[in-house]
Amino acid sequence: MIKDTDRTYEALKEDIRKHDYNYYVLDEPEISDYEYDQLFNKLFEFEKENPQLITPESPSQRVGIAPLESFKTYIHKKQMLSLANVFSEEDLIDFFTRVDKRLVDIKDYEVFCEPKMDGAAISIIYKNGILETGATRGDGSKGEDVTSNIKTIKSIPQKLLHTTKFKIPSYIEIRGEVYISKDDFINLNKIASEKDQKIFANPRNAAAGSLRQLDPKVTSQRPLSFIAHGIGEMESVKIESLDAFFEMLNEFGLPTNPLNKKVIGIKSCLDYYQDILKKRESISFDIDGVVYKLNNLKHQIKLGEVSRSPRWAIAHKFPAEEATTIIESIDFQVGRTGILTPVARLNPVKVGGVIVSNCTLHNIDEIERLDPRVGDTVIIRRAGDVIPQIIKVVLSKRPNSVIPVEIPTKCPSCNSKVLSENASDWAVINNDGKHVKKYGSEIEAVHYIDGNNEFSLKEIKNKAAFIRCSNELECPEIVRGNIVHFVSRKAFDIEGLGQEIINTFNKAGLLNNVADIYKLKNHKNELMQMEGFGEKSISNLINSIENSRKIDLHKFIYSLGIQEVGEATSYNLAKEFKELETFLKTNFKHLIEIEDIGPKVAANIIKFLESEYSKPLIAQLIKELQIKVFKDVDSSLLTLQGLQIVLTGKLNNFSRDEIKENLISRGAKVLSSVSSKTSFVIAGENAGSKLKKAIELNVKIYDENEYESILKNPSKYT
Ligand code: IVH
């Protein structure tokens, strides 16, 4: 006879299991942490009073086991195979050609695509629905019995959930990956460093190390998670495909990867690869490629395996994101804003799929933090579309003779004095000095107080130190940088005035600022006598300069090269002020009310407009140019009116400018950063932080192909 207390105990355990599943597997808790703790306390209380009733699969028993002396060897009933790798499209085609040959007449077979997780492989065994054993992969035939540690992992149920669709099998072995998410890893190392404990090199090492702790209490402190990816030995299970197997696992309360996808054909596999590569940065755990598996289990059996790898699966690895190389020199480069940026010149090395030979060291703080020296061996990282970074100096390989980087006191370009500045965080405060909003930023220090004193920017914290050339008006690098930007395609688009020609004319004293471009025609004879120039090339150049005199307001604003005022912001400014004169008279308060403009950018604009350098320059340009008044378009054509769109990543079939112009001319706003107000993001290849933010904020993401449909069927998207 079942006693009432037994039933309450069973119900309580079932309840906690369900909440564990909701929290750790579905990530959709139904109760608060407090309510969960209450349930658990109830369980502890009950078990304290009725110790004879405690069952091994009770949620309280996850950490109930005493430390072990050593792990027992576990012999896998079915070998845990490993995967062969391909790194290229050609090798993938070869793989599928081999599959085609063996499948003979079977066409259009299904392929199951999964991210390749960078964790530790395990095998878990349930007997009649109760978790019985957990073992590491070991050499594939023999692993270690780590059951007590596996039991501490909250996303692995101690008992399978009952379901009407699938019968609980008498025996089932599930393979999968134990991992630590990126955020949990950072946290884990933070705690370790606070306690002066060993720092883990990466999430994979941390996960594998945690699984092999003899004391399960230690393992239980580690944020381990689990995702199932394979089938082991099974009894009384009727399953014909991988996707059906995973569906069954989900019903039993086991997590599988939500990014898994069933496809047909190599093209779709490659699309999947690109898609996951694009999402790589924003995925919460480390992955190092994707895995393609034949979905049909009969197809898998037909193909079999060779030397420990299945013929029915292959890993398509991403290019390595880290590489080791040597610093050959460290230079300071002067940018068009005058800031001197330290750059490490490297022995060229392939990383993230491209050859890297230069790597920015950002600023003086970074030099102090890393202490990179010429001759040092360094680890470079290039992830997605993020610029390469030096993440570590390998001190054990440092030669004896190396010396610290000398911070220049003179500009390497013009020998003028170098000024030190600190970038800061900023707060916007109102009249009463009350804090309105805080903005973290790494901009140069600008103490800006608005004319009517309604708002002011207050520097609240010093950040990275910058050094800047003091010769803003004449430093050749600053002057040349500004001219290069001014004539670039998205600005005045002056053909024939490339970087080298600009350098030559500048050295000859004919091009000392952007306004001088329009005086070049007065020096035609001088120009023609310069080496490498003839009558034809000079008259072509003069022609394209003359043709550029008429310009849209937004392009003019963009061409000024104000810090952090890109194309989208320039367009918004033109739309707001319509005429240059009005823009030139603007103030801080007005600027921060404009879409997409925060205090940091507003301060940059005001500083530029008020600078001694810009004022006379703009006056000269106005004399030379015809700057058009901004005109709004016919409202019936504004099919995308009200949409806020962000473009990111590399687009293959359309130029970014083309897309932008088309969207803007239909009334959409093309903004430079993603927020909760963003209508959608159009993401190309290797999109990085913007895509990540869109995913985080649950903003819709479309790919390049969808863009055409947006133009054709705008109502679907507005
Ligand atoms: S399937 C027979 N799927 O990669 C196929 N493995 O090199 C066996 N891995 O030891 C594995 N993500 O630890 C499979 N989605 C995935 C995977 C995956 C990561 C690991 C696994 C295995 C290694 C094989």
Per-residue pLDDT reduced to its tens digit, 292-307: 999 999 999 999 998 7
Distance CA 463, CA 440 (A): 10
The sheet carrying 340-351 orders its strands as: 354-360, 340-351, 322-334, 377-381, 389-393
Residue nearest to atom 3 of ligand 1 (CA): 229
pLDDT of residue 635: 65
End-to-end CA distance of the chain: 64
User: Is residue 68 domain-resident?
Assistant: no
Q: Distance, CA 116 to ligand 1 centroid (Å)?
A: 7
| Residues having CB within 6 Å of any atom of ligand 1 | 81-83, 114, 116-117, 121, 137, 177, 229-230, 291, 310, 313, 315
Question: Which atom of ligand 1 is closest in space to residue 177's alpha carbon?
Answer: 13
Amino acid at 664: I
Among 557, 540, 551, which residue's Cα sits nearest to residue 501? 540
Same domain? For 520 and 487 the reply is yes
Other beta carbons within 10 angstroms of residue 169's beta carbon come to 20
| The two three-digit tokens of residue 674, written as one number | 């993603």
Lowest mean pLDDT segment, chosen from 48-57, 446-455, 457-466: 446-455
Using a 10 angstrom Cβ sphere, with 0-12 exposed, 13-18 middle and 19 or more buried, the burial of residue 132 is middle
pLDDT of residue 250: 95
Contact 322, 377 (CB under 8 A): no
Among 28-37, 51-60, 108-117, 213-222, the range with the most confident prediction by mean pLDDT is: 108-117
Alpha helices in 456-547 (DSSP H): 476-487, 499-507, 524-528, 535-547
Question: Which atom of ligand 1 is closest in space to residue 309's alpha carbon?
Answer: 2
Question: Angle at the Cα of 220 (from 216 to 226), degrees rounded to 5?
Answer: 110
Domain residue limits at 688: 635-716
Residue nearest to atom 13 of ligand 1 (CA): 121
Using a 10 angstrom Cβ sphere, with 0-12 exposed, 13-18 middle and 19 or more buried, the burial of residue 463 is middle
| The two three-digit tokens of residue 350, written as one number | 């392939």
Same domain? For 444 and 368 the reply is no
Across residues 148-176, what is the average pLDDT?
Answer: 94
User: Is residue 392 domain-resident?
Assistant: yes
Other beta carbons within 10 angstroms of residue 396's beta carbon come to 6
Q: Does residue 464 register a pLDDT over 60? A: no
Same domain? For 693 and 667 the reply is yes
CATH of the domain at 696: 3.40.50.10190
Same domain? For 463 and 567 the reply is no
Residue 42 bears catalytic tag: no
pLDDT of residue 181: 95
pLDDT of residue 518: 96
Count of structural domains within the chain: 6
Predicted confidence band of residue 423 (pLDDT cuts 50, 70, 90)? low
Q: Does residue 433 register a pLDDT over 70? A: no
Same domain? For 367 and 222 the reply is no
Residue nearest to atom 17 of ligand 1 (CA): 116
pLDDT of residue 266: 95
Pocket test for ligand 1, best of 82, 95, 226, 303 (most atoms within 8 A of CB): 82
Among 251, 290, 286, which residue's Cα sits nearest to residue 270? 290
Residue nearest to atom 14 of ligand 1 (CA): 229
Q: Does residue 156 register a pLDDT over 70? A: yes
Same domain? For 514 and 481 the reply is yes
Contact 76, 140 (CB under 8 A): yes
Q: In this predicted model, which residue has the larger pLDDT, 479 or 656?
A: 479
pLDDT of residue 444: 32
Domain closes at, from 349, 364, 397: 397
pLDDT digits (tens, 9 = 90+) for 77-96: 999 999 999 989 999 999 99
Same domain? For 200 and 257 the reply is yes
CATH of the domain at 18: 1.10.287.610
pTM of the model: 0.59
Predicted confidence band of residue 441 (pLDDT cuts 50, 70, 90)? very low
| The two three-digit tokens of residue 661, written as one number | 């112009």
pLDDT of residue 256: 96
Q: Distance, CA 110 to ligand 1 centroid (Å)?
A: 19
User: Is residue 407 domain-resident?
Assistant: no
pLDDT of residue 448: 41
Q: Does residue 112 register a pLDDT over 70? A: yes
Distance CA 426, CA 504 (A): 41
Question: Which atom of ligand 1 is closest in space to residue 305's alpha carbon?
Answer: 2
Using a 10 angstrom Cβ sphere, with 0-12 exposed, 13-18 middle and 19 or more buried, the burial of residue 4 is exposed
Predicted confidence band of residue 446 (pLDDT cuts 50, 70, 90)? very low
| The two three-digit tokens of residue 257, written as one number | 């990867």
Q: Distance, CA 532 to ligand 1 centroid (Å)?
A: 60
Q: What is the mean pLDDT of the chain?
A: 87
Pocket test for ligand 1, best of 83, 226, 305 (most atoms within 8 A of CB): 83
| The two three-digit tokens of residue 378, written as one number | 């360094």
pLDDT of residue 1: 43
User: Is residue 409 domain-resident?
Assistant: no
Question: Which atom of ligand 1 is closest in space to residue 118's alpha carbon?
Answer: 19
pLDDT of residue 62: 78
Q: Distance, CA 71 to ligand 1 centroid (Å)?
A: 23
Residue nearest to atom 24 of ligand 1 (CA): 82
pLDDT of residue 437: 41
Region class of 323: left (phi > 0), else alpha (psi between -120 and 50), else beta: beta
Domain closes at, from 627, 652, 675: 627
Which residue among 48, 77, 78, 116 is the active-site one?
116
User: Is residue 15 domain-resident?
Assistant: yes
Predicted confidence band of residue 410 (pLDDT cuts 50, 70, 90)? very high
pLDDT of residue 450: 44
Same domain? For 642 and 679 the reply is yes
What is the helix (H) or strand (E) element at residue 608, kind and residue range?
helix 599-610
Q: Does residue 27 register a pLDDT over 80? A: no
